[in-house]
Amino acid sequence: MADPAPLDVRIQDLLRHDGQFVRLRGWLYNARGKGRLLFLLLRDGSGICQAVVLRDAVGEEAFALARGLGQESSLELTGTVAADPRAPGGAELKVKGIRLVGPSRDYPITKKEHGPGFLMDHRHLWLRSRRQMALLRLRHRVIQAFRSYLDGEGFYCVDSPMFTPNACEGTSTLFRTDYFGEEAYLTQSGQLYAEASAMALGRVYCFGPVFRAEKSKTRRHLTEFWMLEPEIAFAGLDEVCDLAEGLVRHTIRHLLATGADDLADLDRDPEVLRAWDAEFPRLRYAEVAEMLMAWQAEGRYESEFRPGDDLGAPDETILGEHFGRPLMITHWPAETKAFYMKRDPEDPSLALGVDVIAPVAGEIVGGSVREDDLETLRRRIAEHDLPEDAFAWYLDLRRFGSVPHAGFGIGLERTVSWLSGVPHVRECIPFPRTLQRIYP
Amino acid sequence: MADPAPLDVRIQDLLRHDGQFVRLRGWLYNARGKGRLLFLLLRDGSGICQAVVLRDAVGEEAFALARGLGQESSLELTGTVAADPRAPGGAELKVKGIRLVGPSRDYPITKKEHGPGFLMDHRHLWLRSRRQMALLRLRHRVIQAFRSYLDGEGFYCVDSPMFTPNACEGTSTLFRTDYFGEEAYLTQSGQLYAEASAMALGRVYCFGPVFRAEKSKTRRHLTEFWMLEPEIAFAGLDEVCDLAEGLVRHTIRHLLATGADDLADLDRDPEVLRAWDAEFPRLRYAEVAEMLMAWQAEGRYESEFRPGDDLGAPDETILGEHFGRPLMITHWPAETKAFYMKRDPEDPSLALGVDVIAPVAGEIVGGSVREDDLETLRRRIAEHDLPEDAFAWYLDLRRFGSVPHAGFGIGLERTVSWLSGVPHVRECIPFPRTLQRIYP
């Protein structure tokens, strides 16, 4: 009697088809076995399934084919789903038929250790490894969480441009391009444009790639990465802190709810994430500086930090350990901050900025209230030696119905790195671009 | 007796607060009235509300303030919501208090007609006009629809890089940048990378900006625009046609369900969109060519089209009129098509491509089955005079577990232009970049 036509299913849905005759299509991740029995691990992007091949069930020819398959051969397997709590994913496939779709010989990425340079050169293939697939899916879920949270809060996605005639924070780290004979820059931040959009739609965000020609070679730097930048009209520091906290905590909950398998593939304990879904302490820079100096005096940690400085890695580390969850630091010394930040009316030496410092990862969010007074902003632009011409349109926002407004930026890949526990941001973007890498 | 603290609400939610004491925050869109009565139209990005100001209700001083307000002044209005079917949005505000937040004098965009150059120079302000706000919101909804449809179909968002070392379809329309001493290009399409990602995750899409240094000055061209590119492993022409039709029809339904107010602001009859949510006819190029030649012979329209040519504007127009809904054209003459398109095994002079031609708008989707055979693809790269080195990684996808796969690209701004009925794509992106424009 002929088998019925198999049902095409994806591995993530396998358990729902217990006992049914199905077809899986994917790539050979690994194989083992001996004698008359083979275990094929098949991956299809949605998960990895153990397929049991018995010589007696598939016949001599198909068994020989299965035994000779190279890693990453593409296959169609037909067979019956069998729930089994011991199998990865809770179900395995009892194979009836095997069809080789595309062969694969001498796949370059094997079980042995490969150096990061080799893996990066083969990024187009490295993406197929369990950990990298999990990271891509996690990144997808963080994107979903960012957008669904803001959409739910009444925000509109209004994309800022990539080509810009002016630089937001200095020109030394800008990529330039020849724009039909004129010089144009690639954007470093969509914020200034998001401010214009917020004056139109009230609550907006831009979410796209930004570019930094930084010569840094740290694990936290990419020349191209994705940044989410919400901007709120009629808002101040409290609203921007509330929004940042709400967004980050929503993202954590979304990963816990939808990404359990990915976290498992990354050996990430969900309890670590769960602990961060708690109210974020909000401290002023001055309070934090006092704590850090006291801890230094007590010999609890070593650091070159002095009041007035930006936080360094050891400072962020100890704060993360102390609080055990993300921390919001507000009211920063104004000198080091960008020209567009509003000063604290009660102490003009302070800028109404907020950074969110996450345990282990360090800074993940940078936000501020924006200067909304025309004359103050003009003076600030002059003080920073920026060309007023280029900011004429930006100044218009303070000329015609200026309102208090605030926003922040959160880097997608840094967030993925933080939540996944994978320290290198280069693994948290599909095709990383760094000082030394533009291939593949 | 003091009023209770007002509730902060957005205009879109006004009707839900009928009878309540609320605060609205926004900008003055327009004002009219005489004597003791003023109507202020306030916009807050979520909608426009008519606020009724009676001198006797607000007092002499506030009334004088209200009467002197310039267009786009920013305001806080407190008052009581009163449902009124005659008011725009179904409710108006009976004003109790007025606070001027930021003045606005001599706002440059007035009721009179402005030329497109002037409006584009003031794009940062032009976004505040009713039609532009509606277009921004519509674009937001199309983004939502694109993502929610694909996420629901089991796709993962995997972004392709912006910086690329190689060109997908020729180098004449590429923007170049100096990448730490090497030459790099800005991406024209994320497809090749999406193919690699599909081999990892099975069903993927990239959705980001792409760049074309085209010298075209038509209403359909931007140098920077957003493109959605889904890619499916283990799929052929039928699957890619199904997905494109499903995506476009879902987008139409999402706009009808969530964007009724925006369509109204754009004077767009929803029935026009509703008619397009019907099965898309699928024809082969040869059938379409035969129809076009017959119509020419009958004198029904004039065109330079001959079998073998690409479709021109008059051909797309008459097809749109004839079918009254989007049309899918498959099996194109191969010579004119990109190197990566798979040929029809039954007739190698044909490429397994599909274009979706929409009424009025013309081509909105371009897709194809991708060549999956290593040697064929190598030959194709050589025939197109492309450097094999640059495509080494792309060829690897055919070396290690190649599978049939297919995908398409759909331009975000062209989709917004088509569905909104606004013919110029430059109005369908927040900050357009064209041959002659990179400001603001």
Give residue A243's pLDDT. Answer: 98
Q: Which stretch of DSSP H or E encloses residue B258?
A: helix B237-258
- For chains A and B, what is the number of CB pairs under 8 angstroms? 259
A137 touches chain B (CB under 8 A): yes
Q: Looking at residue A282, what is its pLDDT?
A: 98
Contact B208 A209 (CB under 8 A): yes
The pLDDT score that the predictor gives to residue A168 is 56
With contacts defined as CB-CB under 8 Å, which chain A residues touch B154?
Answer: 10, 12, 46
CB pairs under 8 A, 24+ apart, for B106-112?
A: B106/B70, B107/A400, B107/B70, B107/B71, B107/B72, B110/B71
When pLDDT is averaged across residues B381-390 and rounded to a whole number, the result is: 90
From chain B, pick out residues whose CB is under 8 angstroms from the CB of A26: 202
Percent of chain A residues past pLDDT 90, beyond the cut: 90
pLDDT-derived band at A340, boundaries 50, 70, 90: very high
Do the Cβ atoms of A403 and B101 come within 8 Å?
yes
If you measure CA to CA, which chain A residue comes closest to B435? A180
Q: Average pLDDT, stretch B107-136? A: 96
Test B401 with A372 for CB contact under 8 angstroms.
Answer: no
Chain A residues inside the 8 Å CB shell of B211? 162
Sorted by where each starts, the structural domains of chain B and their CATH numbers stand as 7-102 (2.40.50.140), 123-428 (3.30.930.10)
- Put simply, the answer to whether A74 touches B209 (Cβ < 8 Å) is no
Residue A136 contacts B where some CB pair is shorter than 8 Å: yes
Binning pLDDT at 50, 70 and 90, where does residue A169 land? Answer: low
Mean pLDDT of B138-163: 98
CA distances (Å), origin B184, targets A309, A427, B56, B338: 37, 21, 67, 22
* Closest alpha carbon within chain B to A173: B180
Cis (ω within 30 of 0) for the bond into A440? yes
State residue B98's pLDDT score: 97
CA angle A408, A409, A412 (to 5 degrees): 145
Least CB–CB distance from B136: residue in A27, A124, A158: A158
pLDDT of residue B89: 81
Instruction: Identify the pLDDT of residue A9.
Output: 97
CA distance to partner chain B, nearest, from residue A269 (Å): 23
- Two tokens, residue B76: 């806080």
Mapped onto helix, strand or coil, the DSSP state of residue A194 is: helix
| Confidence band, pLDDT 50/70/90 cuts, at residue B169 | low
User: Residue B167 pLDDT more than 80?
Assistant: no
d(CA A368, CA A391): 19
Q: Does A128 touch chain B (CB under 8 A)?
A: yes
Q: Which residues between 358 and 377 in chain B have a beta carbon less than 8 angstroms from any beta carbon of chain A?
A: 372
Q: A199–B26: do the CB atoms touch at under 8 Å?
A: no
Distance to chain B for A142, nearest Cα, Å:
10
> Distance (Å, rounded) from C-alpha A14 to C-alpha B10?
45
The rounded distance, in Å, linking the Cα atoms of A292 and A284 is 13
User: Can you tell me the mean pLDDT for A375-393?
Assistant: 93
Q: Which residues of A touch B9 (CB under 8 A)?
A: none
Chain A touched by B140 (CB under 8 Å): yes
For the full predicted model, state whether its pTM sits above 0.80: yes
Distance CA A188, CA A214 (A): 11
CA distance A335 to chain B (A): 27
Task: Determine the residue among B163, B186, B398, B439 to mutate to test chain A binding: the one whose Cβ has the most chain A Cβ atoms within 10 Å.
Answer: B163
Does A421 contact chain B (CB < 8 Å)?
A: no
Under 8 Å between Cβ of A58 and A20: no
